[in-house]
Amino acid sequence: DAGVIQSPRHEVTEMGQEVTLRCKPISGHNSLFWYRQTMMRGLELLIYFNNNVPIDDSGMPEDRFSAKMPNASFSTLKIQPSEPRDSAVYFCASTVAGGHYNEQFFGPGTRLTVL
Amino acid sequence: RKEVEQDPGPFNVPEGATVAFNCTYSNSASQSFFWYRQDCRKEPKLLMSVYSSGNEDGRFTAQLNRASQYISLLIRDSKLSDSATYLCVVARGAGNMLTFGGGTRLMVKP
């Protein structure tokens, strides 16, 4: 049974370039989360979707970041233009939203390096 | 002040030792509490939920003190395979938004 799938696993790009990270949640999950992890700031929630609708994007650092979820099986996180301080590991996670907490399952992450 | 605070460690312990991690959270409206485990260069995975009554899963015991806004994790008879970073996690809101502590690194030595 496939878990959360992320691509690419590694991305090296130059400052100013557009970066697109992709995520396929676990089939049947209706909530999707994008996180960023750095040594300095730890793991931070960027945005989450419920039933493909963005619910809270207060963690998105600035307008250079955007996220979409066109359908239940696919989401993207785009950075345009990228900057060196965007270098981090970006995780996508999914779960089944309900009345009580359900475990979030994380993908393997995309390690982004912006030169 | 961070919303969830942990001692970053590292905690270096011999095999078989008992080790305890602590965590404090600042948002009294937090609803659910967890410990996640993250191996080096891997994704976080749920270790266990934390309940006010305390809960145990094998060698792992977690406790929550809502009055003090304090969460703990006790690992007994530690194994080499327990070496990892342990993340204290707090959930808030109907969407189960998670706030992670910075993590405590554990290194179990032979």
Report how far apart, in Å, the C-alpha atoms of A90 and of each of A59, B50, B51, B74 are. 13, 26, 30, 30
A65-87 per-residue burial string, b: 16 or more CB within 10 A, e: under 16: bebebeebeebebebeebeeebb
Which is nearest to A82 in space by CA: A111, A39, A58, A112? A112
* Structural contact between residues A86 and A35, judged by C-beta atoms closer than 8 angstroms: no
Task: Give the pLDDT of residue B97.
Answer: 83
Which residue is listed with tokens 């475990």?
A: A103
Nearest to B43 among A48, A101, A109 (CB): A109
A64 CB burial (10 A radius; 0-12, 13-18, 19+): middle
Positions in chain B whose pLDDT score sits under 50: none
- Side-chain half-sphere of B27: how many Cα atoms within 13 Å? 18
Q: CB neighbours (10 Å) of residue B52? A: 11
Per-residue confidence in pLDDT tens, chain A, 115 aa: 689 999 999 999 999 999 999 999 999 999 999 999 999 899 999 999 999 999 999 999 889 999 999 999 999 999 999 999 999 999 999 998 876 667 899 999 999 999 9
Mind listing the pLDDT tens digit for each residue in B60-80?
A: 999 999 999 999 999 999 999
Task: Give the pLDDT of residue A65.
Answer: 97
CB contact under 8 A, A101 and B99: no
The SS3 call for residue B96 is coil
Chain B contacts of A97, Cβ < 8 Å?
Answer: 95-96
CA distance B103 to chain A (A): 8
